[in-house]
Amino acid sequence: MSEVARQFVMAGFKEPELMLVAAKRMRETVKGEVEAYTPYPVHGVDEALALPKSIIPKMVGTGALFGVCGGYTLLYWCSVIAYPINVGGRPLHSAPAFIPITFECGILLSALTAFFGVLAWMGYPRLYHPVFESPGFRRASIDRFWISIELAGDDPNKLQAELKELGAEETDFVTEQLQ
């Protein structure tokens, strides 16, 4: 936790389109980081916030590779090195018979990486965030489209007025509660 409480100017919009315009404008004119909050993925947020591509596919790809290599290595080590048994004269290294488990290990590791990787990358679980200080933000998961601007030297009152002009239904100014 940082020692200095972060401050955010927030604005809630009824329509995603208005929010997108405002988010884009804020990103271009304000120093602090702009974030958008929507109840469902809205097309255009990535462009409005100029987000780079997600890292998740690379993460999952790496997981899959580890799964496949690890799975096959496990099978090979168990069947050939650690516990070689002759079953009906079949080769100890029975590559075709190793395919199904190798495949499943690849899937398992991809799934685990996708789930835990994405949560860790997004920083969850994290039950508290300053944006929750705004009472109106409770509708951000239901039917309102919010943006937040972390203050980095801008005047909060001026920002709020500007957001109102951009069509915000309500605006707010919140401060992080430090323990």
Partner 1 sequence: MADLARTISPSITPEPLIEGPDDDLTLTDSVFAPVWKPTAKGWWFLFMICLGGTGMLFSAIGWTVYKGIGVWGNNIPVAWAFGIINFVWWIGIGHAGTLISAILLLFQQKWRTSINRFSEAMTLFAVICAALYPVVHTGRPWFAAYWLFPYPSTLGIWPQFRSPLTWDVFAVSTYFTTSLLFWYLGLLPDLAALRDRSTGKWSQRLYGIFSLGWRGAGRHWRDYMSAYTLLAGVATPLVVSVHTIVSFDFATAQLPGWHTTIFPPYFVAGAVFSGFAMVVTLIVPAREFLGLKNVITLRHLEAMNKVILATGWIVAYGYAVEIFNDWYSGSRYELGHLHEKMLGPFAPFFWMQMFCNVVVPQIFWKRSLRRSLLVMWIASIFVNIGMWLERFNIIVISLHRDFIPGSWAAYAPTIIDVSLFVGTICFFGMNFLLFLRFVPSVAANEVKELAHEMRHTHV
**Contacting residues toward partner 1, per CB under 8 A:** 16, 23, 35-42, 45-46, 48-49, 51, 54-57, 60, 64, 74-75, 78-79, 82-83, 85, 87, 90, 94, 97-98, 100-101, 103-105, 107-108, 110-112, 114-115, 117-119, 121-122, 124-129, 131-132, 138-143
d(CA 9, CA 154): 10
Nearer to partner 1, 1 or 83 (CB): 83
Residues contacting 145, CB < 8 A, separation 6+: 12, 13, 14, 15, 16, 18, 19, 36, 37, 38, 39, 42
Q: How far is the CB of 156 from partner 1 (least distance, A)?
A: 20
Least Å distance between CB 101 and partner 1? Answer: 5
**Do 162 and 34 meet the contact criterion of CB atoms below 8 Å apart?**
no
Number of C-alpha atoms within 13 angstroms, CB side, residue 36?
31
Q: Which is nearer to partner 1, 75 or 159 (CB)?
A: 75
| Nearest residue to 13 (alpha-carbon basis) of 108, 176, 144, 130 | 144
**Closest distance between partner 1 and the C-beta of residue 10, in Å?**
12
Least separation in angstroms between residue 171's CB and partner 1 is: 18
Q: How far is the CB of 17 from partner 1 (least distance, A)?
A: 9
Sequence letter at residue 15: E
Q: Kindly calculate the radius of gyration of the chain based on its CA atoms and give it in whole angstroms.
A: 25
Nearer to partner 1, 115 or 157 (CB): 115
Token code pair at residue 106: 């690849």
Q: What does the angle CA 104 – CA 109 – CA 112 come to, to the nearest 5 degrees?
A: 125
CB of 176 to partner 1, least distance (A): 14
Give, in order, the Cα–Cα distances in Å from 163 to each of 88, 93, 166: 77, 67, 5
Residue closer to partner 1, measured from CB, 155 or 175 = 175
